[in-house]
Structure 1
């Protein structure tokens, strides 16, 4: 039986030890973890195949199985992500600002670890490595609780990282995995306020909402991605088509995949038939509003629920609007504050869109698939925050820190 309180105590002790490590010690440990992943590739793939087979037997969608799958390239990618984290500046000890008060007190605001971070996530085994690496770089211990779909993969990945730390004399309790995937254990973890400083859920919008509603531990909300691409009347349509196909088709199950396309009426008649055919050729089901269906009769009529839905599948919905203002209003109503993109050659239109869209990341003439810690140069990410407090957008090591004030006096007392 899992004793979460005991795990919490071990994590707190480990977080204190990590806070005493220097940058070189942390970086050497991360390199050791990366090398250990590569060395253990064969065993990781064997365990991952068990999860894949179970997923197929349980009828899990093809797009979701893609999120679950690990091969040599993806393991290499996880290891490279850790090496990129090594190359990042160490956020711990960085001075954000400093000043001297009228009383002669010297004050500096310094970056420090959050402490113990809890991760509750679904069928993404790469999260096990990304979270462990980023938390470690920022001096935090982490308690990981993945979904049952990836349990065999998560166990072997966590054991690989823990053994790497142990081999070089650093506490393996910096990384702990909750092997019990029951809802009861997840609920208990959400209440562990005495031991976990911050809880970060990753998964579907429904899953994240459940964690937010149940948890007593402070939450950084991440992940749900009902992402839109708006094609303006002044768009270069030769750019628009490959951007949309990339954003929808490359990995449809991830949170930065495009779920909706919004078209200006002036280009809809010309562009939508080409877009529909390209999506159909990539096995994407297209739904749309009345105006879209009038242009392409094979498009399936969309319901009101469609506009709110993050499909995580080969499905996309199309909306035709009269102007940029209507596009912005529609997107702000239905989006999840994740990533939105405008395709246009009109600079004023792109500036208005980027200023008025309420989302963590807003693009002009680029795929939403770039919303990713690795693509942003963070080495990896622990999640993509869709809230506004503490962190927003892809979260790297810097977002896993807080600050404290260090005040140096010389006998001052307050009058």
Structure 2
């Protein structure tokens, strides 16, 4: 096939379309062999990956990147091993393709089945986090799709090496190298090209900060699955067990503060704060957290930074947390509903009625009772990995695993039926 003259995005989109025709027809066993091949190649090329990643880390440090950004960017032996294990776990999960979602026989004898099929060519635009390069390519491969990836310039060396390794592994198993492709042009026009590649990309998924996501949503003529920023809240209700509440709140904030499911605001009932606030503040500060609090929180410690309106809106992605005092659960729900990004919200309470009220009132992709928000994750949900966490309501919501990368096709069997 002779391809017309076109920019890099459209050329690779065309090649991805050709590859998708092959990949969509492969068997479960063939795709599993390809995933295991990628896993093996990653392990064999650890030092090459780490060498490339170190170049990206050093460059980002020279450019003044924050500690949180460096954490998202960095790979080490443990993180590469986790990527390899993720690929092996995907092989153990059921194949989501060609599953019958709905089946009926019409009065005229037509047999109609709605079955799951691949989306096609999936474009992913993302920032930092080179693990996304492998996660998304693997999930797409498992579901019979191909991927066109565009990471940020800060991960260019790492992404080039990761994609090269994956392509070598795929070719070893008879798959087209174009099953996984990378746009490595750091120019901003490449992002615009992907947004306007309708007909070449079947869906576009942005992962990153609010600005990137909004840009893609507003500019794209390609259908978009919108992932969202994580201004996540933990509400400590009046009846919350003190030890449990402190343990969960500290985990939600500090276990890995640079990710989107980390807690950014702790909302506290005033009576609970009066009795247990000092212990909570001490526990957070022992983990290095800077607390931005309202006047009630400030009264408990001279170390508290005065919170303003921006603090309630901020996704810190760092060891900072806002702390808001409320008189009742209704005020807590009101505050969270005002500032939520519809990602993950948690209530800590021993009052079952309050828990049910919170579940019914909070509009978010994931709502928790007596648990950390850090569990909003594809692996924790049993998906093996995730392509992102959707905060919209159409097609997919919450951690997007294998089912989110499929669509449906109606297959109709007849015996010669006609409309006439």
Scaled to the shorter chain, the TM-score interval is over 0.9
Residue 151 of structure 1 is matched in structure 2 by 156
Aligned to 1:285: 290
User: Which of 295, 313, 321 is the aligned partner of 1:308?
Assistant: 313
Counterpart Cα distance in 1 of 2:255 and 2:167: 33
Q: Secondary structure at the match of 2:253?
A: helix
CA shift, 1:278, in A, is 1.7
Give me the TM-score of the superposition, normalised by structure 1: 0.98
Shift of 1:348: 1.6
Whether 1:87 and 2:59 are equivalent positions in the alignment is no
What is the CA-CA distance between 1:277 and the residue it aligns to? Answer: 1.6
Hey, what does 1:16 align to over in structure 2? Answer: 21
| Distance in 1 of aligned mates of 2:55 and 2:309 | 39
RMSD: 1.2
CA distance in 2: counterparts of 1:269 and 1:172, whole angstroms: 61
Equivalent position of 1:176 in the other structure: 181
Q: CA deviation at 1:292?
A: 2.0
Give the match for residue 3 of structure 2: none
Partner SS state of residue 295, structure 1: coil
Contact 1:108 1:407 in 2 (8 A): yes
1:7-46 alignment to 2 at 5 Å?
7-46=12-51
CA offsets 1:119-178 (integer angstroms, 9 cap, x no match): 000001000000000001111110000001111111111111110001111111110011
Q: Say whether residues 1:61 and 2:74 are aligned partners.
A: no
Provide structure 2 residue ranges, at least 5 long, that are not aligned to the other structure: 1-5
Distance 1:411 1:182 in 2: 56
The 5 A counterparts of 1:134-213 are 134-213=139-218
Residue 296 of structure 1: how far off its partner (Å): 3.2
**Structure 1 residues 89 and 59, CA, compared in 2 at 3 Å: closer, same or farther?**
same
Aligned to 1:388: 393
SS across alignment from 2:133: helix
The offset of 1:414, in angstroms, is 2.0
CA distance in 1, matches of 2:91, 2:187: 34
Shift of 1:22: 0.6
Deviation at 1:291, TM superposition (A): 2.4
Residue correspondences, number: 415
Deviation at residue 297 of structure 1 after TM alignment: 4.0
What secondary structure, in the 3-state scheme, does the structure 2 residue paired with 1:382 have? coil
- Note the 1:86-125 alignment, pairs <5 A: 86-125=91-130
Contact between 1:2 and 1:178, CA under 8 Å: does it hold in 2?
Answer: no
Q: 1:367 offset after TM fit, Å?
A: 0.8
Give 3-state SS (helix, strand or coil) of 2:98's partner.
coil
CA distance in 1, matches of 2:419, 2:78: 61
Deviation of residue 223 (structure 1)? 3.4
CA contact (8 A) 1:272 1:296 kept: no
The superposition leaves residues 16-50 of structure 1 with CA deviations (integer Å, 9 ceiling, x where unpaired) of 10111010111111011111111110100010000
Residues 122 and 146 in structure 1, CA contact (< 8 A), matched pair in contact too: yes
Q: 1:249 to 1:2 in 2, by over 3 A?
A: farther
- The 2-side partners of 1:134 and 1:320 are apart by 42
Q: Secondary structure at the match of 1:319?
A: strand
Shift of 1:84: 1.1
C-alpha distance in structure 2 between counterparts of 1:182 and 1:327, whole Å:
44
How do 1:239-388 and structure 2 match up within 5 A?
239-388=244-393
Find out whether 1:48 has 2:56 as its counterpart. no
Return the alpha-carbon distance in structure 2 between the equivalents of residues 11 and 186 of structure 1. Answer: 17
Which residue in 2 is equivalent to 1:130? 135
